[in-house]
Amino acid sequence: MFVLETAVFVLFLGGVCSWGLLREYFIAKQKHQRAQHISRLVESLAGHSIGDAKRQFGPPLEEIFGDSGRSLCIWRAPPAESFPTVPGVLIVTLTADENGVVTDTAWRRW
């Protein structure tokens, strides 16, 4: 009887550990796919007009204009609803040159 109980315990323990590892793997994979999707979305705006980004994402939370004519637009989700949903806060920044063309893109999830 002791051998049977030990075997059942080892199988149960192995199943619980396997379930935990698989769960962590799938959560990490989902986070990676979400990050790649956001990267593609934000990086696709480089070289396009900042007006295109404003039409796609809505008005930015902050827009800062420099003396040289460059501008920095910052979106934050939430409250911006046009970005993919992510746990936490998503911050997207786009830098545009004096002609209104996006020259630099960045994003971060907090």
> Domains (ranges, CATH) in the chain?
2-109 (3.30.1450.10)
CA distance 77 to 38: 12
Nearest Cα to Cα of residue 106 among 61, 73, 62, 83:
73
pLDDT at position 105, please? Answer: 92
58: pLDDT strictly greater than 90: no
pLDDT at position 11, please? Answer: 93
Say whether the peptide bond before residue 79 is cis (omega within 30 degrees of 0). Answer: yes
20: pLDDT strictly greater than 90: yes
Helices and strands in the chain: count of H runs, count of E runs: 2, 4
Q: What is the mean pLDDT of the chain?
A: 89
Q: Which residues pair with 65 in a beta bridge?
A: 71
pLDDT at position 1, please? Answer: 81
25: pLDDT strictly greater than 90: yes
3-class DSSP state of 67: coil
CA distance 57 to 109: 17
pTM of the model: 0.74
pLDDT at position 88, please? Answer: 84
Confidence of residue 14 (pLDDT cuts 50, 70, 90): very high
pLDDT at position 68, please? Answer: 86
CA distance 86 to 70: 29
Amino acid (one-letter) located at 53: A
pLDDT per position as a tens digit, 75-93: 988 777 777 777 888 899 9
